[in-house]
Amino acid sequence: MAPPPQRTKRKPVPRHRPRGDNSRARPEPREDGPQRIAKLLARAGIASRRDVERMIAEGRIALNGEKLATPATLLTDLSGVTVDGKPVRPAAATRLFRFYKPQGTITAARDPAGRATIYDRLPPGLPRVMPVGRLDFMTEGLLLLTNDGELKRKLELPRTAVVRQYRARAFGHVTQAQLDRLAEGITIEGIHYGSIIANLERRTSRNFWIELSLTEGKNREVRRVLAHLGLQVSRLIRTAYGPLSLDGLEPCDADEVPQVDLDAFRAALK
């Protein structure tokens, strides 16, 4: 059996420094002026913008007792807004956490099949948080959590091109030349996957360890791309998301990203 990847011993988590799309975005209201209610509720951690829009369509959100008809309603704050009849608390300061998601958990609040969720494994004392993106059931490693739905959305958007880094242990045979071609992108069964930078890290008697960097979050992307190359992934670990790494965390550990690092990360997204 191949040895697990090297892991640093427990130590104080170092401060992370952000690394340094030109896609056109629809202009939004000024940050110091009225904002769409969907954006304000997302920032308050109620739900993502898309989920807020669905909740409005379901008649679950009201302003001064009147059900809202559109998520485009502009407000300066959430005074008088209720969700399911309950007043919305003012948005708390934005917080971001690193969490080492263990294998065998789903990235959701609940599972109809009764499987363990990340919320079953979070340490006590965390505020209400939402995951940034997803890691599939058997993938482990860095999962960012935030109480700010707007930050969650921005970190997930393809146009922000935040780099995700992984280490994969895979059985089979592959050459570096084959991995290099992934940088051009690849289409598998009608689904296009963007550029992936992949490097052979080391080889054991029966397995390869491969390092991968990508800027998308498509479902099971790494596993599907490597399977297309004839490799069977037996372990997959996300090691970094943007400037934040897994360093210093053990499975089920979580810690808060320092405010100075959070501010730098957010600034780099603009």
Distance CA 103, CA 99 (A): 13
Q: Which of 77, 84, 111, 136 is catalytic?
A: 136
- How many other β-carbons are positioned within 10 Å of the β-carbon of residue 119? 16
DSSP label of 77: S
Distance CA 199, CA 181 (A): 11
- How many other β-carbons are positioned within 10 Å of the β-carbon of residue 236? 23
DSSP label of 102: P
Instruction: Determine the 3-state secondary structure of 127 from DSSP.
Output: coil
Distance CA 48, CA 148 (A): 9
Does the active-site annotation cover 263?
no
Residue 120 corresponds to which amino acid? D
Catalytic residue ranges? 136
